Amino acid sequence: MREITRYNYEEFFLDYLEGTLSSLQSVALEDFLTRNPDLKLELEEMECPVFTKDSVEIDLKSLKEIPFRESFDDFCIARLEGDLSVENEIAFDTFLEKNKSFQKENQIYQKTILHADNSLVFTDKEKLKRSSRKVAYWWYFSRIGVAASIVLLFSLWSILYQFKGNQSDEEKITAKVEKAITESKKTNKIKEAIDVEALVTPKREVVQSEKKYSIENRQQKTADNQGDKTQVENIEKVLKRVEPVVLSSDIKLIALANSADPTIELDIPKEKNTEISTQNNGLAQLGMSWKSSVPEKKAQNSVLYAIAKYGVDKLGEIAGKNVQLEKKYDSTTEKTRLDFNTAGIGFSKTIK
Amino acid sequence: MNLDEYNISVDQHADGMFRFILKSIRDEDKARDVVQDSFEKLWRNVENVNYLKVKSYLYTTAYHTMIDLIRREKRKEDFENVDVRDYSHSEHYSDLSEILDEALKRLSDVQRSVILLRDYEGYSYTEIAKITDLTESQVKVYIYRARMHLKNYIGSIESIV
């Protein structure tokens, strides 16, 4: 049997009150209460009256009735919101049927339900809609791509021009002169575009001299040399006139070079020289400017050298000699020398 | 959510949102702006929004945009000391919708929003609570008070008529 202490006495008190303690336990409890008189009062307080069945009368009907009257607004709103249980809904509806006075108020609650006006529509739905993002990305990146391509092409093109520009001026201009001369002989349009007299006259002279050379013998050489001499003089004069015009258009320059009339001059103003020279540049074709790194004087000399070399080469062809005009750099003097190997060809001038 | 779902969302919810906002702030241009802003925000987050929850997202965005707008307007109103409602009141009603409209104007912003969400869109208390950042109990209380207010207003007008 467990000992009764101040920590578990409630359990024994309850059992005592219920009458479930054994005789031995009852003796022990009495002994405990003797030793603890303060707890005897507590036991007396715990002794509550026991109700008998006959003494309690419960109104079961009133318990089943839901307080619709007292909380009518709450039930109306709850019914409206669908918060009532099915049983309560039925009970509430029954209540309303039986109490007509409450029906009107409930009807007003029914009217508080808002109905959307479907005639109100958002008209700009199409503006809210989106097209494919991929298209947008493609469009975005394609624009960048096009821009990048343009920049890339422009860069490559500029580099190529720069590369071309780095070629020796001599080679470039010689090539241009030769090409232009060849074209001038072939193309009638070019002849029309430039001064016809200036172009045709020297050509005729050249052809005549060639004929003379092929027909006449060496004794008649002097007479031929007079023709050549005239030609050379013309070239010299032309060179003098060409000097101020540095980089004229190829055709006009050659026309001038072949001209027999020393009075013919290029009608290109000096101020336009730079502009004309830049016409060969691709940048100028795009309306942009570019200043050559080649000094102007150097360019002039290069042009003159090219024309002179071309003339000398042709002279060699006419004479059947290996006549050469060459530039040679002397490292000791650090100067460029111009060597003219006449290869036995002499110059003479008739004096009237 | 993909592009097609986004465009379907526009078709499905733009009108409802527009009505909700228009009834709340009574300014067509501003309501239109709020709807546009909401869809703009949706588009920016289109990849992060679940299509099944897009309606809730849209209404939440629209509601908060509208609340911001109302606050700004109120500040302006306080500054100017003008109460628009005083000028807009009229007791000549032709039908119930007009009476309700008038009664709706007299609700607080929160009460109006929750009851519109409840009646127009049929949202549950929980859904309204999420949209409006309120607790479910608060939503219930606001709806209760709004119904009471509407009922009293309608009752008073009917008794006058």
User: B54: closest CA among B45, B63, B67?
Assistant: B45
Range with the poorest average pLDDT among B15-24, B64-73, B84-93: B84-93
Q: Is B54 touching A (CB cutoff 8 A)?
A: no
Has the ipTM of the complex gone over 0.85? Answer: no
The rounded radius of gyration (Å) of the Cα atoms in chain B is 17
pLDDT in tens, A248-269: 445 555 555 555 555 554 444 4
Position B132 pLDDT exceeds 70 = yes
Q: What is the C-alpha separation between A342 and A322, in angstroms, rounded?
A: 8
Query: Under DSSP, is residue A202 helix (H, G, I), strand (E, B) or coil?
Result: helix
pLDDT for B13: 92
pLDDT in tens, A108-147: 888 888 888 888 888 888 888 888 655 555 556 667 777 8
Mean pLDDT (chain B, rounded): 85
CB contact under 8 A, A116 and B19: yes
pLDDT for A49: 65
A-chain CB neighbours of B96 within 8 Å are 111
Q: For A128, which of B36, B96, B151 is closest by C-beta distance?
A: B36
Q: Where are the domains of chain B?
A: 1-82, 89-161
Q: How many residues does chain A have?
A: 352
Tokens coding B124: 């549950």
Domain spanning B1-82, CATH class: mainly alpha
Q: Is B154 touching A (CB cutoff 8 A)?
A: yes
Range with the poorest average pLDDT among A54-68, A313-327, B25-39, B83-97: B83-97
The rounded radius of gyration (Å) of the Cα atoms in chain A is 63
Nearest CA in chain B to A121: B15
Q: What are the start-end ranges of the H helices in chain B?
A: 3-25, 28-44, 54-80, 84-88, 96-105, 109-121, 125-132, 136-160
Segment A275-293 mean pLDDT: 53
User: A241: closest CA among A266, A210, A212?
Assistant: A266
pLDDT in tens, B45-86: 988 999 999 999 999 999 999 998 888 877 666 555 444 444
Q: For B155, which of A108, A120, A130 is closest by C-beta distance?
A: A108
CB contact under 8 A, A120 and B3: no
Q: Where are the domains of chain A?
A: 9-50, 66-111, 168-341
If one counts every other C-beta atom within 10 angstroms of the C-beta of residue A163, the result is 9
B-chain CB neighbours of A81 within 8 Å are 118, 143
Q: Alpha carbon B59 to chain centroid distance?
A: 9
Position A80 pLDDT exceeds 90 = no
Architecture in CATH for domain B89-161? Orthogonal Bundle (1.10)
